[in-house]
Amino acid sequence: MRPVVAVHGGAGRWDVDEERRRAALKALREAVEAGLTAAERGDAVDAVVAAVEHMEKSGVFNAGYGAVYAIDGRAYLDAGVMDGRSGRAGAVAAVEAVKSAVRLARFVMEHTDHVIVAGEGARLLAAKAGLLDTYHKFFSEEKNRRFREVLEEARRGNWRYKKVVELAGDTVGAVALDRDGNLAAATSTGGVWLKWPGRMGDSPIPGAGYYAENGVGAFSATGIGEVIILSLLSYRARNELLKTGDVAQAVKNAVQLVTAVHGPDTAGLIGLDARGNPAYAYNTKAMARGWGKQGEIYVDL
C-alpha cells in the first residue's frame, strides 16, 4: 500500500492577498511532503503529526506560532490526534506556549491514561515532554494589528459571533494512510479570535474535530468549533462513509447536515478512506487543502 496524506489549512473566507495565498499553498505542499517523508520511515500517526507540526511552525495558519488571540490577548492552543489502529486518542486544550500542540497531544495519547488534558496541566506535561516554548514566539505585529481591529469591532457592537466566520478559520489538520493500511487523524488550532480564555473548540475532541478508525476512514474538521462539537462532525462523516461506501459522498453529506441545522459558513472537513481515497467538503467560501502520495501532490485554496 502506498502512503497517502491529506491536509487542510482551514475553512473560511480566505480573502487574502497574493503573497499570503502563495505562502499558504507552499506550507500545505510542504506539510504533505513532511507527512509522506514521515510515513516512509514510520506509520500513519507519524505522518499526521509531522504534517500538522509543519503547519503549526509555518506561522501561516491559525495554529502553533500563527494562533489567533483570545479576548485577553493571549494565544491558547487546542490539538488532538487519533490512531485508527489502536482506537486511542490524545489531546490538549487551552494550553499556551508549547513547541507543538499536536506533539503534546501525541504525548497525552502515548504516555498518559487520559484523552484530553487542558490548561496548566497540559503545560506541566509539556515540561515533562521537553515541549515548552517561549511565549513571545506566539505574538506578531500582524496579529497584534488584527487583534486591535476585531476588538474594536466587538466594542462597536458588530459582534455577531456565529455569523462572523472570519473569526474562525485557518485551523490545520491532516489525515493519513500508511503502507500497512493504518489510518490516523490530527487537528491543531488557536481557536477563534476573541474566544473566552479556557474556551475549548472541537479540535481536541475526538469525533468532533478529528476521528480515525482502521478499515473505515480518517477525518479532520475545521470551522466554528461550537457547531462542530454539537454535530460531532468527524464521527458523522465516519457514519456516512459506512452507509454510503464513498468518502466524497460521506464528507459532503456530513457538511450538508451541518448546514441544514446551523447554516452556511460554519464547517469544512477532509477525509480519507481505507483505500487511500481523499475527499473534502465545506460550506464556507473557501478551504485551504492538499493531498498527495509519493510523486504526486495537489494543493488548492
Active-site residue, from 37, 112, 134, 171: 171
Q: How far apart are CA 228 and CA 238, in angstroms?
A: 14
Are 229 and 80 within 8 A, CB to CB? no
Restricted to residues 268-287, the positions that interact with ligand ASP (CB under 6 A) are none
Nearest to 188 by CA among 284, 40, 75, 111: 75
Q: Is 166 in the site for ligand ASP (CB under 6 A)?
A: no
- Encoded one letter per residue, x for contact with ligand ASP by CB under 6 A and - for no contact, window 132-161 reads ------------------------------
As to burial, measured by CB atoms within 10 angstroms (0-12 exposed, 13-18 middle, 19+ buried), residue 23 is: middle
- Residue range at the interface with ligand ASP (CB under 6 A); choices 16-24, 89-97, 219-227, 245-253: 219-227
- Least separation in angstroms between residue 293's CB and ligand ASP is 26
C-alpha cell at 168: 474562525
Are 203 and 171 within 8 A, CB to CB? yes
How far apart, in Å, do the first and last CA atoms of the chain sit? 28
Residue 182, SS3? coil
Per CB under 6 A, the list member of 201, 207, 271, 278 interacting with ligand ASP is 201
C-alpha cell at 114: 487520559
Cα atoms in the Cβ-side hemisphere of radius 13 Å centred on 59: 9
Q: Is 169 in the site for ligand ASP (CB under 6 A)?
A: yes
- Least separation in angstroms between residue 53's CB and ligand ASP is 17
Restricted to residues 31-60, the positions that interact with ligand ASP (CB under 6 A) are none
- Residue range at the interface with ligand ASP (CB under 6 A); choices 43-51, 80-88, 176-184, 196-204: 196-204
CB nearer to ligand ASP: give 35 or 225: 225
CB nearer to ligand ASP: give 58 or 214: 58
- Least separation in angstroms between residue 12's CB and ligand ASP is 7
Q: For cell 481557536, what's the residue? A: 191
- Least separation in angstroms between residue 182's CB and ligand ASP is 25
Q: Is 266 in the site for ligand ASP (CB under 6 A)?
A: no
Restricted to residues 4-33, the positions that interact with ligand ASP (CB under 6 A) are 10
Q: How far apart are CA 88 and CA 157, in angstroms?
A: 43
Residue 171 annotated in active site: yes
Q: Are strands 217-223 and 210-213 parallel, antiparallel or unpaired?
A: antiparallel
CB nearer to ligand ASP: give 1 or 159: 159
Q: Where are the alpha helices (DSSP H) in the chain?
A: 18-41, 44-58, 101-111, 119-129, 141-155, 225-231, 233-244, 247-262
- Least separation in angstroms between residue 141's CB and ligand ASP is 22
Nearest to 178 by CA among 45, 279, 278: 45
| Single-letter amino acid, residue 71 | I
Q: Is 191 in the site for ligand ASP (CB under 6 A)?
A: yes
* Angle at 147 (CA atoms; ends 141, 150), nearest 5 degrees: 145
- Least separation in angstroms between residue 78's CB and ligand ASP is 6
CB nearer to ligand ASP: give 222 or 234: 222
- Residue range at the interface with ligand ASP (CB under 6 A); choices 96-104, 111-119, 224-232, 233-241: 224-232
Active site residues: 171
Interface residue list for ligand ASP (CB under 6 A): 10, 62, 78, 168-171, 189, 191-192, 201-203, 222-225, 228
